Amino acid sequence: MISVSDILTAIESGADIPTLAPVVRRLLMFKGDGKDDPKLFLDLVRNDPGLTVKMIRAANSPNEDTEAVDSIEAAIERLGFQNARNLALTVSFIDDDRRDSADVAEHQRMQWLWERSISTATAAENFASKLHIENLPKVRTTGLMLDIGIFFLLYNFPQYYNTILDRWQSEGGDLIEIENAEIGVDHAVVGQQLAKEWNLGIEVEEAIFKHSRKKLNLSERSNGSYYSLANLASAVLFEDRHITGLERAVRYAHDLLGFERANFIDELQRITIIADQVSIKISLSTGPALPYVDLLKGINSELGRATLTSEQMIRALEVSMRKAELLAQKLEEANHKLRDAANHDPLTRIHNRRFFEEFLNWNFNRAQRYNTTLGCMMLDIDHFKTINDTYGHLTGDRVLQGVAEVLKENLRNTDIVARYGGEEFVVLLPETKTDAVYTTAVKLNRAVRQVQFPLPEGSFSVTISIGFVSYSPTHMTNVNAPMDVVHMADVNMYSAKEAGRDRVWPDLQAANGNNPQ
């Protein structure tokens, strides 16, 4: 099971998207001896999502004061051919030489996604040219990166995300809807967040988020609609629902470009031929395939051991690879512990205030940008000082742990609960309207009330007071900062205490004339 917080942690930890082993084999053909053809290198990079992302991320480094680049051509020009080549050799890749069935399936699915991205980039460039859009290299680069969210989820969460793709491909339906139901977030939102984190540019962020949505906007013909049409064209070629997909794509092509069915099918054939030629040229090796270890040796060789003799190089590589594997394992364990410690409260093992505020900022900005709602609750254990004074601080700690566990068990995977300080907890509920936030608050209030905390001479229970708010950028124009939402929920929590504790405020049941909790 993966959650939004797992995905956020992966993004923040610097996780990447990979390429395929055949692409790395092609990279190893560039020796860096001054005889390489930069045009052939560009042709390779501009058709690979993993390499494209890596180049643009490096070219748009936060340390650069120059204007951001928006195409792979501009990125390589800024980096310089030799720097770009060396950077490309560090790309992660999916190996096609492993024999485990799960690895083979992962490689096949990544190959499918990689070829689909090339098709989408080719289609975007084709349709943009029909609309006389300038800077077609930028369009192709953006088109290639539209599905980086799928690459990211598939590579970093393969076991769980593969089941989602299996369900989508076998049952049909909308992948966006399936992802939101299963994870609480979809690949377009993940891709958009990656584009923001990786400095790929605001236009790339917008294109990634909008291209796969159901409601396609044709009001501005030059404002990225060709990305949506390119996505529909690739769906016809790479998904099993050809008939329904074709009808939808034909309608959209007619509205956007004035194409009749025959014109659109001709374009599909042209796109298929071009994309296939690119895929074959890159993915098929002219010689015998290099095994996995040889690839690693070649890459390590490029990174600084060219002066060693062949025998010395192999011995040094074997030793360094063993050390690197051990070091990587220890570093990963250490990083995991550090990330865990940085994001979680040590007593209750739920998220801490620092992580909550990061999650709040992301969801507040998203609510403002896409005009969605954002629910927030502040919760306080009633008479907690009395519990500490009466039963001792160890019992008080057990109460905090027990309440935290109950809150986690009664929230969705998409919600975040954190310890805010002392006996206060805070809950964030993305895209949740007022009635749903209230219903969840009542559920939490009752669930905590039912827990019994054992004592040598019996047991006792506790109650909580909850204040909540459901933020809407349309109806709360006076709210300008994320912490304003928390403050509003906090004010309502104190109102709940003043009204007698052990309740939710505002009390919508009482306001509607029903019996309160």
For the annotated catalytic residues, the residue numbers are 423
- Give the C-alpha separation, 429 to 418, whole Å: 12
Straight-line distance from the first to the last Cα atom of the chain, in angstroms, rounded to the nearest whole number: 34
CA R_g for the chain: 27
| DSSP bridge partners of 465 | 380
Residues ≥6 apart with Cβ < 8 Å to 96: 20, 21, 22, 107, 289
Pairing of strands 464-471, 504-505: parallel
Instruction: Give yes or no for a contact between 387 and 348, defined as CB atoms under 8 angstroms apart.
Output: no
Beta strands at 374-381 and 453-455: parallel, antiparallel or unpaired:
unpaired
Beta strands in 93-193 (DSSP E): 93-94
Nearest C-alpha neighbor of 14 from the set 90, 100, 95: 90
Question: Could you give the CA distance from residue 194 to residue 198 in angstroms, rounded to a whole number?
Answer: 6
The answer to whether the beta carbons of residues 185 and 173 sit under 8 Å apart is no
Count of CA atoms in the C-beta half-sphere (13 A) of 110: 30
**Cα–Cα distance for residue pair 226/136, rounded to 1 Å:** 12
Six token digits for residue 89: 């050799």
CA angle at 48 for the pair 44 and 54, rounded to the nearest 5°: 100
Please report, for residues 337, 375, 442, 444, 447, the alpha-carbon distance to residue 410 in angstroms, rounded to integers and kept in the order given. 26, 15, 11, 7, 8
Question: Residue 142 corresponds to which amino acid?
Answer: T
